[in-house]
Amino acid sequence: MSTNNEPMTISEKIFSKAAGKTVKAGEFVLANIDRAMTHDITGPLAVDGFYEIMRDKEEKKVWDPSKIVILFDHQVPADSLNAAQNHIMLRKFAKEQGIINYDVYEGVCHQVMPEKGHVKPGDLVVGSDSHTCAYGSLGAFSTGIGSTDMAAVFASGKLWFKVPDTIRFEVEGKLPKHVYSKDIILHLIGDVGAEGARYKAAEYAGSAISSLPMSERMTISNMAIEMGGKAGIIEADATTEAYLKERIPDYEFDPYWKSDEGAECELHKYDISNLEPQVACPHNVDNVKPVTEVEGTKVDQIFVGSCTNGRFEDIEVVAKMMGDEPVAKGVRLLIIPASRTEYMKVLRAGYIEQFMEAGAMVESPCCGPCMGGSFGLLGDGEVGLATSNRNFKGREGSPQSFVYLSSPATAAASALTGEITDPRKI
């Protein structure tokens, strides 16, 4: 795509393809969207906005139904009359327009989108959800937009962007035992802060990233927004290729979709060989401390799930660490696999029986208590530990509650003791 030999970032390459001409960071472009995702919370407003835009048109059709995906995940199964009405409205819209619609049983949007093969390297993807940056784990430029922007995408398939600058995190070293990609991303966010990557495309590279399996890469890309990032990209490699070949029959690896050597970026280097498990403390995601500084904090509820850490691999870590031990007295352990597919893997491995024996609760795939809009809420003064991505005041229920964020391993260790516990000591 490049017309000269200047090195380009992967974001510049993707926006050049989407704009049909070579563009650089800082330029404003009208970009063609490859894929658009919306869900049960932000979808209804996008649909209303779409009809508003189309009000004078005789034919009120979306630009390309095959490029839109509608999912229900935040309030499922419908937990209020309002949610039920929203589901009805979106089902009707999807049917009329011929749009793919994953219903209440399928899972969390950011798990289902990659899982069902809706994203590939080099794509420009938008979703009306802030954690849409998760699909950067597949080498796409993927970002969250508002419902009114989504209405414009439904109508035209295009959206204005400023091509972002790049902030590149080169992470080297081998992860110590019981330390996971969640600890890496919490460490990075704690280091650069909640605004550290504002309107930049975060790129994650280096041996510590390229050695991660897809499940752990998704955790890292998912949380780019918690440092203000517009995207969170990991260039595609053999691991990505193997994941995509199972899902997109005609997928062919294209080495073009990566940042060129020497492309302009703000570079941050890390060595995680001695990284401790990390915990984000109330009430900000960048309030990150090593677990040893917060161990002993009593917890009332532990939530293992969400688009950040609700995959089979995450839940397996918990199952293995807990073994035959019960959940500590007085603690509620809530486990919610991120999708039906992940749930089935957990089921087939025998872990659901193990968790139920241990006194945990296992729920069908959904966002659950992640953003406090559904069930499993925290009451006044309660302390929650979660494997999700946000711990803002009131995020999981009462504004008088406290949410800590950690890896599944730290969550499992804490479920056994009833207090925040260093998984290396179990």
Based on CB atoms, which residue is closest to ligand IPM, 106 or 129? 129
Residue nearest ligand IPM by beta-carbon distance: 130
- Please report the DSSP string for 179-223 in residue order: --HHHHHHHHHHHH-TTTTTTEEEEEESHHHHTS-HHHHHHHHHG
Based on CB atoms, which residue is closest to ligand IPM, 18 or 134? 134
Cβ at position 266, least distance to ligand IPM in Å: 25
> Which of the choices ligand SF4, ligand IPM, none does residue 42 contact, using the CB cut-off of 5 to 8 A by kind?
ligand IPM
Closest CA to 416 of 313, 299, 309, 306: 299
**Exposure of 193 by Cβ count < 10 A (0-12 exposed, 13-18 middle, 19+ buried)?**
middle
Dihedral sign, Cα of residue 109, residue 114, residue 116, residue 120: positive
Q: Give the footprint of ligand SF4 on residues 115-134 (CB under 6 A).
A: 129, 131
CA distance 168 to 57: 45
**Alpha-carbon dihedral 346, 349, 355, 356, rounded to 10 degrees:** 100
Based on CB atoms, which residue is closest to ligand SF4, 74 or 120? 74
Cβ at position 232, least distance to ligand SF4 in Å: 13
**Site for ligand SF4 (CB under 6 A): how many residues?**
13
307 annotated to bind ligand: yes
Based on CB atoms, which residue is closest to ligand SF4, 29 or 220? 220
Encoded one letter per residue, x for contact with ligand SF4 by CB under 6 A and - for no contact, window 226-265 reads ----------------------------------------
Q: Which range of residues in 142-150, 287-295, 313-321, 365-373 is near ligand SF4 by CB under 6 A?
A: 365-373
Q: Is residue 370 involved in binding ligand SF4 (CB under 6 A)?
A: yes
- Please report the DSSP string for 53-94 in residue order: HTTT-SS---S-GGGEEEE--TT-S--SHHHHHHHHHHHHHH
Q: Is residue 11 involved in binding ligand SF4 (CB under 6 A)?
A: no
Encoded one letter per residue, x for contact with ligand SF4 by CB under 6 A and - for no contact, window 378-397 reads ----------xx--------
Give phi and psi for 65, each to the nearest 5.
Answer: -60, -25
Cβ at position 382, least distance to ligand SF4 in Å: 19
265 annotated to bind ligand: no
> Which of the choices ligand IPM, ligand SF4, none does residue 47 contact, using the CB cut-off of 5 to 8 A by kind?
none
Q: Is residue 371 involved in binding ligand SF4 (CB under 6 A)?
A: yes
How far does CA 277 lie from the centroid of its chain? 20
Buried b (16+ CB within 10 A) or exposed e, 26-54: eeebebbbbbbbbbbbbbbbbbebbeebb
Cβ at position 308, least distance to ligand SF4 in Å: 7
Based on CB atoms, which residue is closest to ligand SF4, 205 or 366? 366
Based on CB atoms, which residue is closest to ligand IPM, 74 or 258? 74
> Which of the choices ligand IPM, ligand SF4, none does residue 108 contact, using the CB cut-off of 5 to 8 A by kind?
ligand SF4
**Exposure of 247 by Cβ count < 10 A (0-12 exposed, 13-18 middle, 19+ buried)?**
middle
- Please report the DSSP string for 230-273 in residue order: SEEE----HHHHHHHHTT-TT----TTSSPPTT---EEEEEE-T
Helix (H) or strand (E) holding 36: strand 35-39
Q: Applying CB under 6 A, which residues contact ligand IPM?
A: 41-42, 74, 129-131, 144, 371
Place of tokens 């990032």: 229
The residues facing 160 across adjacent strands are 30
Residue type, 88: I
Cβ at position 405, least distance to ligand SF4 in Å: 11
Based on CB atoms, which residue is closest to ligand IPM, 131 or 217? 131
Dihedral sign, Cα of residue 420, residue 281, residue 330, residue 80: negative
Taking a C-beta distance cutoff of 8 angstroms, is the pair 366, 74 a contact?
yes
Q: Is residue 155 involved in binding ligand SF4 (CB under 6 A)?
A: no
Residue in 367, 383, 409, 413 binding ligand SF4, rule: CB under 6 A: 367
Q: Is residue 306 involved in binding ligand SF4 (CB under 6 A)?
A: yes
> Which of the choices ligand SF4, ligand IPM, none does residue 41 contact, using the CB cut-off of 5 to 8 A by kind?
ligand IPM
Q: Which residues are annotated as a binding site for [4Fe-4S] cluster?
A: 307, 367, 370
Chain residues binding ligand SF4 by CB under 6 A are: 74, 108-110, 129, 131, 306-307, 367, 370-371, 388-389
